[in-house]
Structure 1
Amino acid sequence: MEKIVPKVFVLILNWNGQKDTIECLESVSKIEYSNYEAIIIDNGSIDDSVAVLKEKFPKIKLLETGANLGFSGGNNVGIEYALSHDADYVFLLNNDTIVDSQVLSTLVEAGDKNSNVGVLGSKIYFYNQPNKVWFGGGKWLDDEAKFDHVNYGKIDELNCEVPVQKTDFVCGCAFFMKAEAIRKIGTLEDKFFLMWEECDWCYRAKRAGYTCLLVSTSKVWHKISASFSGGSRSPHYEYFWWRNRFLWIERNAPSALAAIQFYAFAFRGLYREMRSYWSPQTTDRQRLGKKAALEGIKDYFLRRFGNCPEWVIWAAGQK
């Protein structure tokens, strides 16, 4: 009897990032797996991304959201499409990544062997330093109220690692979801818009009885923070990191007491950040980042979710 090969949908979200998306799709086209379909989701791009991508990849399905729905909202459009087309697995893949040709076969093998898994993640390396680990698993730090990347910055030691291991969360830029789990617990939470939504989904999955696994033999290379205006640690990044950190605590702290403790740790971290606001060593750009962090926390308490204020985008573009 011929073995049934699980159907995988690879979802690549584009927002004014055609150059990265093209490179990503070119690597995806070299994947050695017999039953997968790549889907482009254009998230309301205002450049010529749609026309360029349609011309360059005419055989790939392109879904247009018509507006910037963020990472969560944009990917949810693709997830719903995949589920309606009999997906067994859904792979959320950042457009600023490239993948190994075995990326899907290793993930599917691990997923099929572990019936209680809800989501699996690839081992992720720095794009410009191919042997340097960016994400080798995730760990929640109770005493800092944040997540940490395991083995961040280390040179790869694959032969010394367990090929498949549990992780507190899977990084959203290479997020391999079991369709069965999505149908049970739902799609990503739209309120996050950008950042922390994958951590939220992992914890929802765990509460539903699923595990989260890192597959070290599945390899992805990431350009890091291309989704953020101004790059890593920009005001754009700081706004979402702080607002959504508080939202994550609200939704996932195991008890009211733990939530109070986590909020206290988060505010302590914010206080350390803000102490340096008037320091002569602090640049104008760094001050804008701290202002954006405060804006994010204010919006959390005012229950303003979704996209960030326009001035944060403007601030992210300042040098």
Structure 2
Amino acid sequence: MTKLAVVVLNWNGWSDTNACIESLIGLENENLHIYVCDNASSDNSVRQIRAWIGLSLDRLNMLREASGRTAFELRDLFDLPSSGDTGSIPEVGGKNSLTLLQTGRNGGYAFGNNVGMRRALKDGCDYFWVINNDTEVEPDALTWLCKRMQADPEIGICGSTLVYAGQRDTSRHGADPNSGHCAAGPLHSVLSPNATIRSMPQP
């Protein structure tokens, strides 16, 4: 089964992050591993997120199990050195997991997300979904992204249509949110100066 990773970076935004985690636990996918990385927040984010998980995870797992899906395991909180090295953390198993990582410092957006992605690589994840902490996802959002990636081996990167929470008929990047399209392209093209992104309909 494909092993999926979702990386969420938090910095002084625990309320948004908690709402994001709740929507991620509601995804229809299995073998799903969520990595919440905190970049040395100064607003007690880690304590707030941990407390919310303690109050909410059982309820959210009951909803998953009621719909025939596997519950999430909390892999606990790991306080990392300032380098962000995650080598001391045991690997995840085949079940769904939620991992909290304190990155050790506020090294910026790329640094914090890279901590989560490096850990996901060590855990053997096949796909990596990096989303902002103020995002709330639809239950089938990741399923469509995986289908698109698997449909064409040339695709190296794929992104969802984003809409405003209060204006769901308005896309953040100008596309028609009802078109069922996502942006996708070969990774070598996306990373080159002459990047080519093509809009691709859902199957």
The two structures have a TM-score, normalised by structure 1, of 0.46
Larger radius of gyration: 1
Instruction: Identify the structure with the greater helix proportion.
Output: 1
- Distance (Å, rounded) in 1 between the aligned partners of 2:120 and 2:169: 33
Question: Structure 2 CA distance, aligned partners of 1:28 and 1:37?
Answer: 10
What residue is the counterpart of 1:192 in the other structure? none
2:82 alignment partner in structure 1: none
Residue 122 of structure 1, aligned match among 160, 170, 178: 160
Structure having the higher strand fraction is 2
Cα drift, residue 70 of structure 1: 1.2
Shift of 1:51: 1.1
Q: Aligned equivalents of 1:99 and 1:6: distance in 2?
A: 20
Give the RMSD, CA atoms, in angstroms. Answer: 2.7
Secondary structure of 1:109's aligned partner:
helix
Q: CA–CA distance in 2 between the matches of 1:41 and 1:96?
A: 14
Aligned residues: 160
The within-5 A match list for 1:95-106 is 95-106=133-144
CA distance in 1, matches of 2:10, 2:100: 10
Contact 1:202 1:212 in 2 (8 A): yes
Q: Distance in 2 between matches of 1:107 and 1:91?
A: 9
1:41 and 1:215, CA in 2 relative to 1: closer, same or farther beyond 3 A?
farther
Q: 2: CA distance between counterparts of 1:206 and 1:122?
A: 21
- Listed as ranges, the matches of 1:242-257 within 5 Å are none
Structure-1 separation of matches of 2:139 and 2:193: 28
In the TM superposition, residue 206 of structure 1 has moved relative to its aligned partner by 7.6
2:48 pairs, out of 47, 52, 65, with 52
Contact 2:11 2:39 in 1 (8 A): yes
State the alpha-carbon separation in 1 of the partners of residues 114 and 31 from structure 2. 21
Displacement after TM superposition at 1:69 (Å): 1.3
Cα separation, partners in 2 of 1:17 and 1:215, compared to 1, 3 Å: farther
Structure 2: unaligned runs, 5 residues or longer: 55-73, 75-97
Separation of aligned partners in 1, 2:193 and 2:123: 22
Structure 2 residue matching 1:31: 3-state secondary structure = coil
Distance 2:192 2:151 in 1: 22
Give the whole-Å Cα distance in 2 for the aligned partners of 1:32 and 1:51: 28
Please, which of 55, 62, 87 is the counterpart of residue 100 of structure 2? 62
Q: Deviations over 1:94-145 (max 9, x none)?
A: 000100000111111111111011110000001111121112xxxxxxxxxx
**Counterpart in the other structure of 2:35:** 39
2:4–2:33 contact (8 Å) kept in structure 1: yes
Matched, 1:24 2:20: yes
Residue 190 of structure 2: aligned partner: 202
1:157 maps to which residue? 178
- Amino acid aligned to 2:154: N
CA contact (8 A) 1:117 1:213 kept: no
Q: Which runs of 5+ in 1 are unaligned?
A: 136-149, 169-180, 186-200, 218-319
CA contact (8 A) 2:185 2:197 kept: yes
SS in 2 for 1:34: coil
The offset of 1:44, in angstroms, is: 1.0
CA deviations on 1:254-291 (whole Å, 9 max, x unpaired) are xxxxxxxxxxxxxxxxxxxxxxxxxxxxxxxxxxxxxx
Say whether residues 1:7 and 2:3 are aligned partners: yes
Superposed displacement of residue 72, structure 1: 0.7
Contact map agreement 1:11 1:40 (CA 8 A) in 2? yes
Change (3 A) 1:116 1:47: same
Q: Deviations over 1:147-173 (max 9, x none)?
A: xxx43xx5x332xx6x455569xxxxx
Counterpart of 1:79 in structure 2 is: 117
Tell me the TM-score normalized by structure 2: 0.70
Displacement, 1:56? Answer: 2.1
Q: CA deviation at 1:216?
A: 5.9
Q: Is residue 109 of structure 1 aligned with residue 147 of structure 2?
A: yes
In structure 1, what is the Cα distance between the partners aligned to 2:104 and 2:150?
Answer: 36
C-alpha change, 1:46 and 1:75, in structure 2 (3 Å) is: same
Separation (CA, whole Å) in 1 of partners of 2:116 and 2:104: 13
Q: For the Cα contact (< 8 Å) 1:7–1:86, is it kept in 2?
A: yes
